């Protein structure tokens, strides 16, 4: 591997409120929807996840009804400023500057913009790509885009300082990311493998990985 990680940025893809129905405490929670931009020494730009579909920035209420998402939660904040194109612009980039797309999994709040990067290779777990369509939610309006897919089946060093970790459980093909930044050192992006503070307690992570789809974020 001749390339290495130089820096990364956290992208703001909006806020989502998850209902607490069916949980032990019956309490809802507000979660941020992040994406990540990873830049390399060789000048490559890697985008991790794509947030909700752009239709949610146009009319969140209509999109929520269309996807039957109201039983799970509601959009708290998501405007055009939270779409990948706008977030990348804050970093001085356009969608055409992306060289590689990593999909940690294909739930509705991660996969919405998967088709907005034509010609960009997509790194994804093989078990996630095995579905006929991206998992999305109760509805499945998305098709797999015509792209080069690089399938991951085990922990993989993508480049120096970027390791993909197979953390299946939240989704059949969930990926987490271990970064080694030049100044900061090791940074672990658990994505949705850890979604609640309680999952950091002894035994909590195992419980979190086994959470049913209706309780996941």
- As a whole number of angstroms, the distance between CA 72 and CA 18 comes to 6
Q: Does residue 203 form part of some domain? A: no
For the entire predicted model, the pTM comes to 0.88
pLDDT in tens, 132-158: 999 999 888 899 999 999 999 999 999
Taking the CA atoms of residue 186, residue 187, residue 191 and residue 195 in that order, the dihedral angle to the nearest 10 degrees is 110
pLDDT of residue 206: 42
Residues of the chain with pLDDT under 50: 205-217
Continuous segment of H or E residues that includes residue 102: strand 100-102
What are the distances in angstroms from CA 58 to CA 85, 86, 106? 14, 14, 21
Report yes or no: 147 and 116 within 8 Å, Cβ to Cβ.
no
pLDDT of residue 20: 74
The side-by-side arrangement of strands in the sheet containing 100-102 is 73-77, 5-18, 29-40, 45-48, 100-102, 122-125, 149-152
Q: Does residue 182 form part of some domain? A: no
- As a whole number of angstroms, the distance between CA 91 and CA 93 comes to 6
Angle at 129 between CA 44 and CA 199, to 5 degrees: 85
Q: Does residue 205 form part of some domain? A: no
- Total tally of structural domains belonging to the chain: 1
Q: Does residue 61 form part of some domain? A: yes
Neighbours of 68 (CB within 10 A): 11
Q: Does residue 121 form part of some domain? A: yes
Q: Does residue 44 form part of some domain? A: yes
Q: Does residue 83 form part of some domain? A: yes
Q: Does residue 159 form part of some domain? A: no
What residue numbers bound the domain in which 134 lies?
A: 5-154
In this structure, the chain runs to a length of 217
What are the distances in angstroms from CA 173 to CA 33, 60, 61, 105, 203? 19, 28, 29, 6, 22
Q: Which class for 94: exposed (0-12), middle (13-18), buried (19 or more C-beta within 10 A)? A: exposed
CATH at residue 135: 3.60.15.10
């Amino acid at each position: 591997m001749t390339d290495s990680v130089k820096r990364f940025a956290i992208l703001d893809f909006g806020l989502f409120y998850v209902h607490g129905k069916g949980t032990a405490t019956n309490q809802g929670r507000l979660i941020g929807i992040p994406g990540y931009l990873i830049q390399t020494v060789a000048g490559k730009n890697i985008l991790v996840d794509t947030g909700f579909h752009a239709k949610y920035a146009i009319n969140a209420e209509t999109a929520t009804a269309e996807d039957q998402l109201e039983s799970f939660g509601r959009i708290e904040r998501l405007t055009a400023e939270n779409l990948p194109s706008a977030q990348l612009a804050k970093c001085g980039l356009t969608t055409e500057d992306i060289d590689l797309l990593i999909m940690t999994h294909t739930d509705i709040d991660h996969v919405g913009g998967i088709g907005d990067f034509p010609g960009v290779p997509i790194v994804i777990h093989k078990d996630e790509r095995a579905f006929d369509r991206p998992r999305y939610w109760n509805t499945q309006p998305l098709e797999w885009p015509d792209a080069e897919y690089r399938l991951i089946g085990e922990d993989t060093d993508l480049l120096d300082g970027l390791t993909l970790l197979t953390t299946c459980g939240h989704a059949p093909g969930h990926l987490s990311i271990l970064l080694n930044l030049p100044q900061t050192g090791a940074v672990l992006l658990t994505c949705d493998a850890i979604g609640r503070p309680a999952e950091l307690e002894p035994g909590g992570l195992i419980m979190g990985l086994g959470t049913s789809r209706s309780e996941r974020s």
